[in-house]
Chains A and B, each alone.
Chain A
Amino acid sequence: MVTDEDRARNVRKRYASERRFKGYGLLAIALALGALAWLVISIVSTGYTAFVQTRVQLEIHFDPQVIDPSGTRDIAVLRKADYAALYRNSIRGQFTEVTGRRDKRALSRLVSSGADLELRAMVLSNPEIIGTRAKVWLTASDEVDQFHKGAFSRKSPEAERQFKDKHIAWYDKLVENGQVEAQFNDTLFTAGTSREPELAGIWGAIVGSFWTMMVTLLLSFPIGVSTAVYLQEFAPKNRWTDIIEVNINNLAAVPSIVYGLLGLAVFLNFFGLPRSAPLVGGMVLALMTLPTIIIATRAALSAVPPSIREAALGVGASKQQMVLHHVLPLALPGIMTGTIIGMAQALGETAPLLMIGMVAFIVDIPGGPMSASTVLPVQIFLWSDLPERAFVERTSAAILVLLGFLVVMNFIAVLLRKRFERRW
């Protein structure tokens, strides 16, 4: 006999187990969010300093004797001049107490070895400047940059750092005069990569990623959508279409590096396409993205209610008209979402691109899909391997930029879905 007591206990047990069940779910979410927060915090905390760059202000004398001794103002002469001498003279003029070749050289190395290019750009854009004196902010070397940002302490043993006590003394004097400042690091967003961290930027990789994504999108979207439409709406249901379907689903799970090997064997070795080109990278990534797009498109097509198809056929639409006028427009938000998620995957892909030579050290900004380039994730991979301390923060900054692109893409996918979904 079941007593009221038993029943009450049963109810309590059920409530308790339900609370536990909810608890497990909350715990899982908390763990996932915690891991994500940790990741983001660690990247942001190492990376945010890379968005500013330490610069040193020097009073530069644009000495005609150095730049253009014969006074022709010929552009070829102006290009070839020894601009490094300008800032060398300036800083040595300020620290007259420094003697000896070695120390003098060390002194001028407080300024980045790329500073001569900055001076050259100034002169080329305005030759009038020759003969005048001006206070100019020049990019500091990576050691000054890191010290200024507090990456290492002056109390650490001198033997463990390249930035010796004498460097610190010079630096202190410059700081005293207000000649050192952290300014927005536009180099990071305008330059290609470089051996010198303070001159390295991700613009080359971003442009490379852009061309690669363009090729990927132009190939995988039309091919993927047409394949899905055919398989879903027109193909007869038989053994062949079953085999094709199973294979497409399996392709989605193939490790991406295998696509890289395929690209190497087929596109480079057989068709002889250029190495390191976004064209080939885009083709390889398109192969990788196709299954994602096909599967997402088929899901979106099959989610269109059959009543809409019947309605179209019922008023005498042909199958093609039914698909083009009714089914595809209704499936489009789902298709676009799938495509954007596929593209986001492709944007973050590194492994297949290593196989086809997009891993090279490329300083120039790629001019098109045929010119040698690298992409953002590969750039991150390359920088993470470099010994200079300043590359650590730049690696994190590049990761932040990549994550930013991915977040924006996913946000667009969500927006598209929200905007178009409630149409019936």
Chain B
Amino acid sequence: MDTVVTEPNAAALAETNAMIVARDVNVFYGDKQALFGVNLDIPENQVTALIGPSGCGKSTFLRCLNRMNDVIDVCRVEGTIKIEGQDVYDPALDVVQLRARVGMVFQKPNPFPKSIYDNIAYGPRIHGIVTSKAELDEIVHSSLEKSGLLKEVEDRLDEPGTGLSGGQQQRLCIARAIAVSPDVILMDEPCSALDPIATARIEELIENLREKYTIVIVTHSMQQAARVSQRTAFFHLGNLVEVDDTEQMFTNPRDERTQGYITGRYG
């Protein structure tokens, strides 16, 4: 089986002006290789969906983008990933700075066991973005506004974030991510723990956020990928099989594995 079939050739890749550029990324967990030579461009202010069956490496790739894989001792990453020209795996790069630029929303809503206000204020505080309480209030309000949560929680900012419903918690986590004004937001199956109504609200929110942020979303739901994304990348067994405009991908996939997956024959 050939590994990468539908990539543009290397010469064309070299001249890309995408926001995030990944070249020949290999990831190992100990002896086991999880990603094989992934080349992927992620354009600015678009939603890129990463799809594929379980264990295909889409989450692993996502976690390479803000180096969350660093936490795992046995994990090793080869190749280059550049965000706006800055090499993510440059040893001189401060990973804290990187994560301030590349925010992340996780599968299970994970607000801190603190007040709603403190949940959002935590990032700006540790990064020293604000100098006054008024500025912090402003950031908290605008972040809640952007995540569509402000109206629901305006009068109870002091209550614990863990007291909100699942969908509200996830929007709180999105607000927390945008409070440090990142350029990129990574979302790792953000709706998998939510009911359809809460999912619809998050999807609406993603659509709105696209104007300001570059979003990469891992999802198991092909309908969701079709609804929210402009670009889709299909991973299979650690290989990036196909990447294309979402419309193109879902109407006319070039690889038969992609076709098999999106028509539901496996996965």
Residue numbers in A under 8 Å from B173 (CB-CB): 311
The answer to whether residues A310 and B110 also contact, given A316-B96, A316-B97, A318-B96 and a CB cut-off of 8 A, is yes
Mark each residue of chain B from 83 to 111: 1 if its CB lies under 8 Å from any CB of chain A, else 0.
00000000000001111100111101011
The answer to whether residues A311 and B112 also contact, given A316-B123, A317-B96, A317-B126 and a CB cut-off of 8 A, is yes
Q: Is B66 an interface residue (CB 8 A)?
A: yes
A313 lies within 8 A of B68 (CB) = yes
Interface residues of A in 188-236 (CB under 8 A from B): 236
Residue numbers in B under 8 Å from A330 (CB-CB): 113
Interface residues of B in 107-126 (CB under 8 A from A): 108, 110-113, 122-123, 126
How far does the alpha carbon of A254 sit from the alpha carbon of B218 in the complex, in Å? 51
Count of A-B residue pairs with CB < 8 Å: 64
How far does the alpha carbon of A298 sit from the alpha carbon of B71 in the complex, in Å? 18
Closest to B98 in A: A316
Q: Is A424 an interface residue (CB 8 A)?
A: yes
The answer to whether residues A314 and B68 also contact, given A237-B73, A326-B112, A424-B113 and a CB cut-off of 8 A, is yes
Q: Is A154 an interface residue (CB 8 A)?
A: no
Residue numbers in A under 8 Å from B162 (CB-CB): 424
Interface residues of A in 302-323 (CB under 8 A from B): 305, 307-318, 321
B111 lies within 8 A of A314 (CB) = no
Residue numbers in A under 8 Å from B111 (CB-CB): 311
Closest to A305 in B: B110
Residue numbers in B under 8 Å from A423 (CB-CB): 113
How far does the alpha carbon of A309 sit from the alpha carbon of B97 in the complex, in Å? 17
Q: Is B176 an interface residue (CB 8 A)?
A: yes
Q: Is B127 an interface residue (CB 8 A)?
A: yes
Interface residues of A in 258-310 (CB under 8 A from B): 305, 307-310
The answer, among B96, B108, B122, B176, for a CB contact under 8 Å with A307, is: B108
Mark each residue of chain A from 385 to 424: 1 if its CB lies under 8 Å from any CB of chain B, else 0.
0000000000000000000000000000000000000011
Q: A360 CB to closest chain B CB, in angstroms?
A: 51
- Count chain A CB atoms within 10 A of each CB in B98, B113, B127, B173 and give the residue with the most: B113
Residue numbers in A under 8 Å from B71 (CB-CB): 309-310, 313
A314 lies within 8 A of B180 (CB) = no
Interface residues of B in 24-60 (CB under 8 A from A): none
Q: B18 CB to closest chain A CB, in angstroms?
A: 23
A311 lies within 8 A of B110 (CB) = yes
Q: Is A325 an interface residue (CB 8 A)?
A: yes
The answer to whether residues A308 and B106 also contact, given A314-B66, A315-B180 and a CB cut-off of 8 A, is no
Q: Is B217 an interface residue (CB 8 A)?
A: no
Closest to B109 in A: A307
B106 lies within 8 A of A310 (CB) = yes
Q: A236 CB to closest chain B CB, in angstroms?
A: 7
Closest to A330 in B: B113
The answer, among A237, A311, A317, A424, for a CB contact under 8 Å with B106, is: A311
Q: B212 CB to closest chain A CB, in angstroms?
A: 18
Name B residues whose Cβ lies closer than 8 Å to a Cβ of A.
Answer: 66, 68, 71, 73, 96-100, 103-106, 108, 110-113, 122-123, 126-127, 162, 173, 176-177, 179-180
Q: A316-B100, A424-B113 are in contact. List 5 more A-B contacts (CB 8 A).
A: A308-B112, A309-B71, A310-B68, A311-B176, A315-B123
